[in-house]
Structure 1
Amino acid sequence: MKKKYFATLLCAAVLTAFTGCGESGALKEEKKAENKTEKLTFVLDWTPNTNHTGLYVAKEKGYFEDEGLEVEIVQPPEDGADALVASGKAQLGVSFQDTMAPAVAGEDALPNTAIAAVVQHNTSGIISRKGEGMDRPKGLEGKKYATWDAPIEKAMMKNVVEEDGGDFSKVELIPSTVTDEVSALKTKSVDAIWVFYAWAGVATEVAGLDTDYFAFKDINPVFDYYTPVIIGNNEFLEKEPETAKSFLRALKKGYEFAIEDPDAAADILCEASPELDVELVKASQKYLADQYKAEEERWGYISPERWNAFYNWLNENGLSETEIPENTGFSNEYLPE
């Protein structure tokens, strides 16, 4: 799974109108008794993978239905989930704190808010063939790194290389969108790739490819930002906060099921997306079972300190055209206790 890096643009569209502004428990039960459901559209960030398992579990297990919701899961357009959610054509979706950055403040800010963390810590880092010296950032000197050529990405790479005493100018940047990390490393078309270990890293294990890996958060704690996150359209959140809370209540159950029984959760994801490799999904699901909540007591919580630390770093390094104020772009108020 490769995450897109893009500068999100404001999508001018008429927001979808919704009926109702929240429900009491009694009203919810009445609605269920009358077989009334509220329809929501949820847009993914990429093709289905284990980041999304809780969503598919909640749908398959009837957790959304129990909350009086009918959730349609759709694939993202070319400009990503952020634009579709901002337009109101989808009320909810998946994004990432780093890719949200260009559009959380200023005149071009998108009307979206992160309302839950899918995974508690940043599991991304640099993977390379084992034993070639790239188990630490300085070892990237003289090696071919597959870059998306994105400003935040390159700034982070420069930071970790220099933190390790290396010279970033000596890293060979190869513009490349790698879709098969195993093949790219085996053929030596590139030497190092930015991956999310839960998917691409685990894929190398399943393929029997020996690798070295270092995580960004282990080099610089400021890079322990939130990726991925659930985002909601601001008008939807304002008009229907109880619906948003109902959605997250059901979604939390989905992810808690995946934590408690990753094998069964993997089966549900594979049934919904039969094109997926079962062995990879099973292994990835086992890895993520310990990552969804990590040390937090409740799934989805976003630490203001960690959220602000990353955006402050962007501000300090001139990586945001508009300075991002603290506590901008996220909220924990829709999470179930």
Structure 2
Amino acid sequence: MRVRLALDWAPNANHSGIYAAVKHGWYQEADVDLDIQHHDFAESPATKLELDKADVALCSLDCLLNYRSRAEPLPVKAIAAVLQDDLASIAVLESSGIERPAQLDGKTHASYRACNKDATIECLVRNDGGKGELNFAYPDQVTIWNTLVKNKADSIWIFMNWQGVQAELAGVALRHFKMGDYGIPFGYSPIMIANENLSTDQSAALKAFLAATAKGYAWAAAHPVEMTGILLEWAAEDDKNKPFLQAAQAATSPHYISTKTGSWGHMESEKVEAYLKWRVELGLDPEPFAVDKLVTNDLLG
């Protein structure tokens, strides 16, 4: 059974369970012929899914909602959550003197042009008592980290388990503003999405793929040090630094497994519903989507 998987970025600790399953031969044991498509900037993972170049794509819940909100909605659903917790933050240099989100009013935020990230940071600032009036800059995604270090921006959206670790190892002191601390619900990210109209054979293939993947993430959660060696084989050349990967893996491993179910991949409907209601309050959607139209745990074991 062939499964084409489109990744959302270069190999990193968010993907560790996939590579653990490859290394241990668990996809082969499940009769899954996995084709991993590494990220490129020409086509997003969801676009590859839409064009039938992939069977499963990694993206955010925001991205999924954008595709479902189109005039001709893309018939896709979330089939698994890669992480159970929000590891993103709005980061500023500790030396900047910015001690709370409200102080970002009038400041420059280096953004990704990604799904609704600008609206989210504006909400973050307002929720801290500010006006939510920022200046947005859009540098190349690869160099966005440098805009903060070189003082070309006052804040950036980072992932604490990757760029946050890079900063720490480089001796760059950051202050983090986490979305959940300012009333912004967690929209599962990354998630795995797939076409909701599946044949019996396709469903069987995805169930086998997810079972092997879950085994990989459970192993990566329990063996962060050993996982570093596997990730080192797959990481981009710029990331092939064992101390960095070991620290990044240690920062990520605790967030793979649900404390509610004790397993990987499951999405809690209450969390999804809270996020959907928040989007309506923010004016991103006219009314909340039905949770069961967006996410399913049915393909998970």
> TM-score, normalising length from structure 2?
0.91
User: Residue type matched to 1:319 in 2?
Assistant: L
- What per-residue deviation string (whole Å, max 9, x for no partner) do you get for residues 135-181 of structure 1? 42112134221124567222211211111111222x33223345345
User: 1:69-119 deviations in whole A, cap 9, x for unaligned?
Assistant: 110101245231112123332111211101111112454211221111100
Structure 1 partner of 2:72: 108
- Separation in structure 2 between the aligned mates of residue 113 and residue 182 of structure 1, nearest angstrom: 31
Say whether 1:64 aligns with 2:27.
yes
Label 1:280 to 1:217 Cα distance change in 2 as closer, same or farther (>3 A).
same
Match of 2:228 among 224, 248, 266: 266
> What CA deviation, in whole Å up to 9, does each residue of 1:26-58 have, x standing for no partner?
xxxxxxxxxxxx222111111111111111111
Deviations 1:191-246 (A, max 9, x none): 11011111111110111111111111221142x11000111223346542222111
2:51 to 63, 87, 93: 87
2:192 alignment partner in structure 1: 230
Tell me whether 1:303 sits opposite 2:268 in the alignment. yes
Displacement of 1:256 in angstroms is 0.9
Residues 244/172 of structure 1: CA separation in 2 closer, same or farther (3 Å cut): same
Paired with 2:145 and 2:288, the residues of 1 have a C-alpha distance of 39
Note the alpha carbon deviations across 1:288-328, whole angstroms, 9 max, x for none: 01111252311111011111222222233331378633332
Corresponding residue number in structure 2 for 1:330: 295
Determine the structure 2 residue equivalent to 1:162.
Answer: 126
Residue matched to 1:139? 103
2:176 aligns to what?
213
Q: 1:149 to 1:118 in 2, by over 3 A?
A: closer
The residue number in structure 2 matching 1:120 is 84
1:160 partner amino acid: L
Secondary structure of the corresponding residue to residue 54 of structure 1: helix
CA distance in 1, matches of 2:146, 2:91: 13
Does residue 318 in structure 1 map to residue 283 in structure 2?
Answer: yes
Equivalent pair of 2:13/2:249 in contact (CA under 8 Å):
yes
Q: Distance in 1 between matches of 2:219 and 2:25?
A: 12
Structure 2 distance, partners of 1:175, 1:75, is 23
Aligned 8 A contact 1:302 1:332 in 2 = yes
Asked if the contact 2:6/2:45 (under 8 Å) is kept, the reply is yes
Alignment equivalent of 1:52, drawn from 8, 12, 15: 15
Secondary structure, aligned partner of 1:289: helix
Q: Is the 8 A contact 2:222 2:253 kept in 1?
A: yes
Worse-matched range after superposition: 142-151 or 105-114: 142-151
Q: Does structure 2 conserve the Cα–Cα contact (< 8 Å) formed by 1:101 and 1:311?
A: no
Q: Which amino acid aligns with 1:164?
A: D
Instruction: Evaluate the alpha carbon distance shift between residue 251 and residue 99 of structure 1 in structure 2; reply closer, same or farther with a 3 A threshold.
Output: same
Contact 2:18 2:217 in 1 (8 A): yes
Go from structure 1 to structure 2 and tell me whether the alpha carbon gap of 1:321 and 1:81 turns closer, same or farther (over 3 Å shift): farther
The residue number in structure 2 matching 1:15 is: none
Residue 125 of structure 2 aligns to which amino acid in structure 1?
V
Letter of the structure 1 residue corresponding to residue 18 of structure 2? L
Q: 2: distance between equivalents of 1:123 and 1:318? A: 24
- Match of 1:198, SS? coil
What is the CA–CA distance in structure 2 between the aligned matches of 1:274 and 1:143, rounded to whole Å? 33
Contact 1:105/1:322, CA 8 A, preserved across alignment: no
Tell me which stretches of 4 or more aligned residues in structure 1 moved more than 4 Å: none
SS state of the match for residue 286, structure 1? helix
Cα 1:114–1:210 shift into 2, 3 Å: same
Q: Percent identity?
A: 27
User: Alignment length, in residue pairs?
Assistant: 297
Partners of 2:69 and 2:119 lie apart in 1 by 20
**RMSD of the TM alignment (CA)?**
2.1
TM-score if structure 1 supplies the norm length?
0.81
